């Protein structure tokens, strides 16, 4: 029995991937429009790949687990009374906290060792942590919504969820980081 057909994969993935190109362009546009702020503190530029990468990875892990659970029938596409969903979201939140805490400490050390005063280095670390946790929370919602909507719509969520999560994650990662930097007052 053929579970995955090439035609289905291409027909479901291609439009999503085309839309993701447009979404990813928005992240680049946002970076370009914030170039003056970034030029004041170039370390901000070094924060973008880790926040986007880790946010996308955490969202993709959650997405892979949810799509497998949907296929196996251990998860239904609804929010209430779903032990599998609750446990996977909890694990993703814990991973997010651990990863973004570690990266926050790392960015504090890099900032301090590169001559940035302690208070500003702490502000940078805090902004990165806040941005990472905000991004992770938002991506969990995006992941759950895209998995459930695609599954209910008769699409294979394996063809849809991860591209959506990574593309939206790039835009949200840049947005969350720039907003956290403004809020913290770096």
pLDDT at 12: 87
CATH code of residue 47: 1.10.357.20
Domain range holding 33?
12-184
Rounded CA-CA distance 33/11 in Å is: 35
pLDDT at 76: 93
Rounded CA-CA distance 175/31 in Å is: 9
- Other Cβ atoms less than 10 A from the Cβ of 17: the count is 15
- 176 located within any domain: yes
Segment 6-34 shows an average pLDDT of: 88
pLDDT of 102-120, one tens digit each? Answer: 999 999 999 999 999 999 9
SS3 readout for 40-79: HCCHHHHHHHHHHHHHHHHHHHHHHHHHHHHHHCCCCCCC
Question: pTM, whole model, 2 decimals?
Answer: 0.90
Residue 49 — pLDDT band, cuts 50, 70, 90?
Answer: very high
pLDDT at 90: 97
Q: Please tell me the least confidently modeled range out of 37-41, 54-58, 77-81, 105-109.
A: 37-41
- 3 located within any domain: no
Q: Is the predicted pLDDT of residue 186 greater than 80, yes or no?
A: no
Residue 185 — pLDDT band, cuts 50, 70, 90?
Answer: confident
Q: Is the predicted pLDDT of residue 2 greater than 60, yes or no?
A: no
Torsion sign, CA atoms 101, 102, 103, 109: positive
- 69 located within any domain: yes
- Residues, the chain: 186
- 39 located within any domain: yes
- 41 located within any domain: yes
Rounded CA-CA distance 97/74 in Å is: 27
Do 177 and 127 touch, CB atoms closer than 8 A? yes
Residue 3 — pLDDT band, cuts 50, 70, 90?
Answer: low
- Other Cβ atoms less than 10 A from the Cβ of 58: the count is 25
Residue 89 — pLDDT band, cuts 50, 70, 90?
Answer: very high
Residues of 126-150 as b/e, b for ≥16 C-beta within 10 angstroms?
Answer: bbbbbbbbbbbbbbbebbbebbbeb
The residue assigned the tokens 């930097």 is 181
Q: Is the predicted pLDDT of residue 1 greater than 50, yes or no?
A: no
- 29 located within any domain: yes
- 7 located within any domain: no
- 40 located within any domain: yes
Number of domains in the chain: 1
């Amino acid at each position: 029995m053929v579970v995955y057909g090439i035609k289905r994969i291409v027909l479901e993935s291609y439009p999503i991937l085309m839309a993701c190109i447009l979404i990813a362009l928005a992240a680049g546009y946002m970076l370009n429009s914030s170039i003056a702020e970034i030029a004041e503190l170039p370390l901000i530029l070094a924060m973008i790949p880790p926040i986007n990468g880790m946010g996308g990875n955490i969202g993709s892990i959650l997405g892979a687990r949810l799509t497998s659970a949907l296929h196996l029938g251990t998860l239904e596409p609804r929010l209430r009374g779903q032990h599998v969903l609750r446990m996977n979201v909890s694990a993703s939140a814990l991973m997010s906290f651990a990863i973004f805490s570690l990266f926050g400490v790392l960015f504090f050390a890099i900032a301090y060792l590169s001559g940035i005063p302690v208070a500003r280095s702490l502000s940078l670390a805090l902004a990165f942590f806040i941005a990472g946790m905000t991004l992770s929370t938002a991506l969990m919602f995006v992941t759950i919504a895209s998995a459930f909507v695609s599954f209910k719509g008769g699409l294979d969520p394996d063809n849809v969820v991860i591209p959506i999560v990574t593309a939206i994650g790039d835009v949200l990662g840049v947005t969350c980081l720039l907003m956290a930097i403004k809020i913290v007052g770096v």
